[in-house]
Amino acid sequence: MLSLRERRAGLLEYEVWLLREAGYRVTGHSQDSGLAVIDVIAADEKTGIGDLRLEVTLPASYPLMPPRVVAPDLDMRHHQNPFVHDLCLLERSTENWDWQWRVAGLLDKQLKKALAAGTAAAGQGLHEADQGEPFSVYYTYVPGMHVLIDSATIDVGISGHGDMELYLVGPVPPPRGERLLGLVKSMRSDGALVYEAPPALTAMYGDQPVTARGRWVVLDEPVRENDAKAIWDAARSADPQPTRAFIHSGRRLEARGIGFPEEHARGRDGTGWVFVLKEEMQQTQTKRKTRAKGGDPRKLAAQKSSDQYHLARAMRAGRDEMTFRAPETLGLVDQKVLVLGCGAIGSVLTEHLARAGVGELHLLDMDELEPGNLSRHAGSFQHAGVAKSIGMAKRVLDINPYSRVQAFNLPIGAPRLVDEQRTETDWLREQMDVVNLIVDATAEIGVHELTSALALEARKPWVMLSASPGIGGGTVVRIDPDARGCFACFQWHQRHGTIPMPPAVEIALVQPAGCAQPTFTGTGFDLALVSAQAARVIVGRLLRGTDGGYPEDGYDAHILTLRDKDGSPQPPHWDGFHVARHPKCAAH
Ligand SMILES: [Zn+2]
């Protein structure tokens, strides 16, 4: 196989030779600081639109990565960056580039097609991928400067102009490694509310007052200049009202939100948004200089030097955006799950459920998080010393602010009351009445028996997950209230071998210093397989019968093999089983 160095030997001369052989006119080439540039003129037979000047730049990773082709004299509506004039000859993914094509091959294959498509009306004659070209991606934004919006409401039928309220947190402009994260709280038009941020996003800004007020406007088309001041000026001339200055991070600022039609996906139009913060720069004049010039000090102080304009990217943060990448989980918004046990497997499972968008999570655990847990727990060091249930509740909201979450720091099976009125079974029954599914991740057989019996009474599905000793394997079992087999049946099946036990590896438990009990050893990434499988079972069960919901594989029990009897690792392997009623089970 040729190394990258071998593939690049004599590269530039070879590319130029290939281009000339293929009938292109090469007017110059240079190699500067690792980037090779070739100036090419493609004649009408190559372009279909007459002679065209091209600047081809080969990255240091060429030919494994494709060249950049700029047509500086061309201005197409599609398939070309409107500001730097790159041609879109390939879809973005590198799988569309074949390094053996070389520059000449790429131009022969793609140039004429791209030019024909780029000059055609939108949506017509496009030869390419199922991919939209949102105009807003071409602007150059201040790194780290973002304003959160919710597509679900901001893209629907908002037009005209009006007042805007913003939260701003962070410096303007942010130094490297920091950020300004804004949030559009509301937009009004003639006093009527046309957009309001979801309460989940507003809640992230706590009790802080709204820091900024500005103006918004929807233009007929995007500003075709990659310049924050030009965008600001276009907005100001389309909006009759002036903006008012406010003070943020020690700066005197004004704010505008600018919307414009753009393509969001292939053939699907929406509204693109950008935000401009204008920073007033006061001219600093020393008193001495003022006196020396004999001018009026007040007048001079009011003089401004050139104002700064900062372009912030709109960052879409609606609930829809957070499920867009996994549409099979959409229905989870209305679901509530009780998770008993926020240890290693329970916490990682909880994190999966939060990411999948389960609407409400009730979390129970009796322990506090210790740094030693973190090798396999989904919590973070900043929550060390916090009750695991409370730490995980915070983690859930960190991941998905649209979740509702309750935390309970309680043991199960202790001979005491939860509060003055209730026993723990009262509490469990109340919980099971309000949730759609119960998860038992306590790794305590006694608790499994109790909670599976209570879940059956409550007529709710119950899912247990556990790892076998030494993490040789794991178990995920789901018992539905109308199923024939119960959890006791499942245990009888394992005793009699109709459902196998997951492999157990003989290893000693370890007792970390200061802990009351020994614990098992094993890695977080092995345990995570059990948590992920439980998430699949739970999400499939919650969405059973919904259109397009995440599918189930039809099994009640899943047994994982990670090690064989000698403890040698195996490729992870799951087997599925039905839990039939067992003749020996006394519970029927
Ligand atoms: Zn049974």
User: For 45-56, what is each residue's pLDDT tens digit?
Assistant: 999 999 999 999
458 CA to centre of ligand 1 in angstroms: 16
Mean pLDDT of 278-295: 60
Q: Which helix (H) or strand (E) holds 180?
A: strand 180-189
Q: Which residues have CB under 8 Å from 335's CB, separation 6+? A: 358, 359, 360, 436, 437, 542
454 CA to centre of ligand 1 in angstroms: 14
586 CA to centre of ligand 1 in angstroms: 7
> What is the band of 74 on the pLDDT scale with cuts at 50, 70, 90?
very high
Q: Which helix (H) or strand (E) holds 345?
A: helix 344-356
- Residue 428: the pLDDT is 96
588 CA to centre of ligand 1 in angstroms: 6
E-assigned strand segments in 324-374: 336-340, 360-365
496 CA to centre of ligand 1 in angstroms: 14
- Cα 122 from Cα 78, distance rounded (Å): 8
SS3 label, residue 494: helix
Mean pLDDT of 542-546: 97
Say which range, 41-45, 94-98, 310-314, has the weakest mean pLDDT. Answer: 94-98
Say which range, 110-124, 241-255, 429-443, has the weakest mean pLDDT. Answer: 110-124
78 CA to centre of ligand 1 in angstroms: 65
- Residue 536: the pLDDT is 98
Task: Give me Rg for the CA atoms of the chain.
Answer: 31
Q: Is the pLDDT of residue 287 over 50?
A: no
549 CA to centre of ligand 1 in angstroms: 30
482 CA to centre of ligand 1 in angstroms: 12
444 CA to centre of ligand 1 in angstroms: 19
Q: What's the maximum distance between 2 C-alpha atoms anywhere in the chain?
A: 106
Q: Is the pLDDT of residue 223 over 80?
A: yes
Mean pLDDT of 507-513: 74
Between 304 and 101, residue with greater pLDDT = 101
| Contact (Cβ atoms closer than 8 angstroms) between residue 360 and residue 354 | no
- Residue 299: the pLDDT is 52
CA 76 to chain CA centroid, Å, is 32
Say which range, 404-418, 453-467, 501-515, has the weakest mean pLDDT. Answer: 501-515
- Cα 141 from Cα 311, distance rounded (Å): 5
| Contact (Cβ atoms closer than 8 angstroms) between residue 530 and residue 464 | no
Question: To the nearest whole percent, how much of the chain has pLDDT over 90?
Answer: 69
481 CA to centre of ligand 1 in angstroms: 11
490 CA to centre of ligand 1 in angstroms: 7
553 CA to centre of ligand 1 in angstroms: 22
Tokens read off for 345:
């497997």
- Residue 430: the pLDDT is 96
Mean pLDDT of 219-244: 95
Question: To the nearest whole percent, how much of the chain has pLDDT over 70?
Answer: 93
198 CA to centre of ligand 1 in angstroms: 46
581 CA to centre of ligand 1 in angstroms: 6
495 CA to centre of ligand 1 in angstroms: 13
**Residue corresponding to tokens 């007459």:** 50
Q: Is the pLDDT of residue 550 over 50?
A: yes
535 CA to centre of ligand 1 in angstroms: 24
582 CA to centre of ligand 1 in angstroms: 6
CB atoms within 10 A of CB 49: 16
β-sheet with 52-58: strand ranges across: 25-32, 35-42, 52-58, 68-70
485 CA to centre of ligand 1 in angstroms: 5
> What is the band of 292 on the pLDDT scale with cuts at 50, 70, 90?
very low
The pTM of this model reads: 0.87
578 CA to centre of ligand 1 in angstroms: 13
498 CA to centre of ligand 1 in angstroms: 14
- Cα 389 from Cα 574, distance rounded (Å): 29
CA 384 to chain CA centroid, Å, is 26
584 CA to centre of ligand 1 in angstroms: 8
Residues β-bridged to residue 146:
181, 313
| Contact (Cβ atoms closer than 8 angstroms) between residue 586 and residue 580 | no
126 CA to centre of ligand 1 in angstroms: 61
Mean pLDDT of 348-374: 96
505 CA to centre of ligand 1 in angstroms: 28
Kindly give the residue spans of alpha helices, DSSP state H, lying in 121-245: 151-154, 199-203, 228-238
563 CA to centre of ligand 1 in angstroms: 30
- Residue 283: the pLDDT is 58
236 CA to centre of ligand 1 in angstroms: 73
170 CA to centre of ligand 1 in angstroms: 59
Q: pLDDT tens digits for 440-469? A: 999 999 999 999 999 999 999 999 999 998
499 CA to centre of ligand 1 in angstroms: 14
358 CA to centre of ligand 1 in angstroms: 30
- Cα 134 from Cα 129, distance rounded (Å): 14
- Cα 362 from Cα 405, distance rounded (Å): 6
> What is the band of 125 on the pLDDT scale with cuts at 50, 70, 90?
very low
- Average pLDDT, whole number, for the chain? 90
Mean pLDDT of 318-324: 87
HSE of 3, CA atoms in CB hemisphere, 13 A: 3
- Residue 407: the pLDDT is 97
- Residue 288: the pLDDT is 46
The verdict on whether omega for the bond into residue 173 sits within 30 degrees of 0, i.e. cis, is yes
30 CA to centre of ligand 1 in angstroms: 79
- Residue 267: the pLDDT is 73
587 CA to centre of ligand 1 in angstroms: 5
| Contact (Cβ atoms closer than 8 angstroms) between residue 307 and residue 331 | no
DSSP 570-583: EEEEEEEE--PPPT
- For residue 69, which of 34, 45, 32, 97 has the smallest C-alpha distance? 97
Mean pLDDT of 379-408: 95
480 CA to centre of ligand 1 in angstroms: 12
- Residue 493: the pLDDT is 97
Tokens read off for 171:
């410096």
Going from the C-alpha of 22 to that of each of 49, 107, 417, the distances in angstroms are 18, 10, 86
Helices 445-458 and 487-496, axial angle in degrees (round to 10): 140
557 CA to centre of ligand 1 in angstroms: 14
470 CA to centre of ligand 1 in angstroms: 28
484 CA to centre of ligand 1 in angstroms: 8
580 CA to centre of ligand 1 in angstroms: 8
- Residue 297: the pLDDT is 52
Residue 38: φ, ψ to 5°: -125, 130
Q: Is the pLDDT of residue 123 over 70?
A: no
445 CA to centre of ligand 1 in angstroms: 15
Query: What are the chain's domains?
Result: 4-130 (3.10.110.10), 136-321 (no CATH), 326-577 (3.40.50.720)
579 CA to centre of ligand 1 in angstroms: 9
